Every structure is written in C-alpha cells, then in structure tokens.
Structure 1
C-alpha cells in the first residue's frame, strides 16, 4: 500500500540545541534504515519550510502508523497521510498486485 505523507516539524524553541541535535541524528538514522529496506520509498524537502513529502510502501495502515509514531521527531510533527491508488493512465503501475 502506498501512502503520501506530509510531515511538518515544529521543534520548540526552548529545546536545548544538544538535545535537538541528538533527536535529529536518531531521526536521520531511522529514516535512512526505512529507505534502505524499501518502506520509505521517497522523501522530498518542502522549499522554505521545515517539512517534507514522503512516499511509504507498507502492508497496512497499522504498519504506517507504527513507523510514523516511532520517528524520534514524532512528538514535534504535524502529519497528514493520503492513501494512494494506481491511476489507470499511468504507464507504470506502482505497487500493483501481480
């Protein structure tokens, strides 16, 4: 199942810089591990914002929720999830069964 996810990060200004840096380092490792295993298919920065659009390829809504809620920056994020379906005019049918 493919999902488009927008993540807006809002780290509190009073969070100590060292703590914010440590959280960001864990976030980077976690997200890159998910990219390597294929579940986090794409990630794009939103220009001028501390935000991204990402495409996830997971087995279920529950799996996506679990992955997102384990993001180290999750407590500081507003997240919007859009389920995706194949479009009949697409040349390549992403994630389509057999």
Structure 2
C-alpha cells in the first residue's frame, strides 16, 4: 500500500550541534536502510522549508507507522500521512 508522507523535523534549539549532526547522520543511515528494503520509494524537499515529502510502500498503516517511528528524529517530527489508491487511468 502506498502512502504520501509529509514531514517536518524541528530539533530543539537547545540541542548541541554535535548531537544534531549525529542525529542527522543516523537519520540518513536509517532512510537508506528503508530505501534498500523497498519501504521508502522517493523523497522530495519542500523549497524554503525543512520539510520533506516521501512516497512510502508498506503492507498497511501500522507498518508505515513502525517505519516512521524507526527514524531517529521521529520524536521531533510532525507527520501527515495520506493513503493512496490507484487512479483508473494508472491501471494497466
């Protein structure tokens, strides 16, 4: 099942730079794992914001939640999810 996921991460201003950089590296590594698994299909940046839009493919909403929650920065992330259904023009 495909999902369009919009998320924006807002790390605390009080977070030390070294911790912020470590967290970003862990986030990048986990995203690469999710790509390798076929869970994270595409990512786009939203110009002018620290927001990202992603196309995800999981068995269901519970698996999507588990994948999103596995991202190290998840506690500081605002997430909006839209389930996607195939449009009749896309069926082949």
Shorter-chain TM-score bucket reads over 0.9
Using structure 1 for the length normalisation, give the TM-score: 0.89
Distance 2:24 2:81 in 1: 22
Q: Partner residue of 1:68?
A: 68
Q: Which deviations, in whole Å up to 9, do the C-alpha atoms of 1:22-45 show, x marking residues without a partner?
A: 111000000011112211001001
Contiguous gaps of at least 5 residues in structure 1 = 94-98
Contiguous gaps of at least 5 residues in structure 2 = none
Task: Calculate the aligned-residue CA RMSD, in Å.
Answer: 1.1
Q: Partner residue of 2:37?
A: 37
Using structure 2 for the length normalisation, give the TM-score: 0.95
- 4+ runs deviating over 4 angstroms: none
Q: Partner residue of 1:77?
A: 77
